[in-house]
Amino acid sequence: MLAQYGITIEQFNEFIDISFGGEKLTDIYEWQRRFDLVLRLKDDFTGTIEGIRTALIDTHDGKKIPLEQVAEVVSVSGPSGITRENVQRKVVVSANVSGRDIRSVVEDIQKNVNEKITFPEGYRVEYGGQFESEAKASQTLMITSILAILIIFLLLYQEFKNLKLSGVVLLNLPLALIGGVFTIYFTSGVMSIPAIIGFITLFGIATRNGILLISNYQRLQSKGVSLHETITKGSSERLNAILMTALTAALALIPMALRGDLSGNEIQSPMAKVILGGLLTSTLLNIYIVPIVYSIFYKNNHCCPVKEF
Which of 51, 69, 87 is the last residue in one of the domains?
Answer: 69
The string of DSSP codes covering 13-33 is: HHHHIIIII-EEEEEEEETTE
Question: Are residue 162 and residue 267 in the same domain, yes or no?
Answer: yes
Question: Are residue 146 and residue 290 in the same domain, yes or no?
Answer: yes
pLDDT (tens digit per residue) in 255-295: 888 876 666 666 788 888 888 888 888 888 888 888 888 88
Is 68's pLDDT higher than 70? yes
308 pLDDT band (50/70/90 cuts)?
very low
Q: Output the pLDDT for position 79.
A: 67
9 pLDDT band (50/70/90 cuts)?
very high
Q: Is residue 277 part of a domain?
A: yes
Q: Is residue 114 part of a domain?
A: no
66 pLDDT band (50/70/90 cuts)?
very high
Q: Is residue 116 part of a domain?
A: no
Which of 29, 52, 69 is the last residue in one of the domains?
Answer: 69
Q: Is residue 103 part of a domain?
A: no
12 pLDDT band (50/70/90 cuts)?
very high
Q: Based on the structure, what is the number of domains in the chain? A: 2
Question: Are residue 13 and residue 157 in the same domain, yes or no?
Answer: no
169 pLDDT band (50/70/90 cuts)?
confident
Question: Are residue 145 and residue 285 in the same domain, yes or no?
Answer: yes
- Pick the more confident residue, 191 or 147: 147
CATH number for the domain spanning 51: value is 3.30.2090.10
Q: Is residue 174 part of a domain?
A: yes
CB 40 within 8 A of CB 21: yes
Question: Are residue 295 and residue 162 in the same domain, yes or no?
Answer: yes
Question: Are residue 57 and residue 186 in the same domain, yes or no?
Answer: no
Residue 56 CB-half CA count within 13 A: 6
Question: Are residue 41 and residue 176 in the same domain, yes or no?
Answer: no
In the chain the beta strands, taken as DSSP E runs, fall at 23-30, 33-39, 56-58, 64-66, 83-85, 88-90
Instruction: Determine the average pLDDT of the residues in 162-182.
Output: 83
| Parent domain of 259 | 141-301
pLDDT (tens digit per residue) in 221-264: 888 888 888 888 888 888 888 888 888 888 888 888 887 666 66
Is 309's pLDDT higher than 80? no
Is 28's pLDDT higher than 80? yes
Angle between helices 268-301 and 172-186 (to 10 degrees): 150
Q: Is residue 89 part of a domain?
A: no
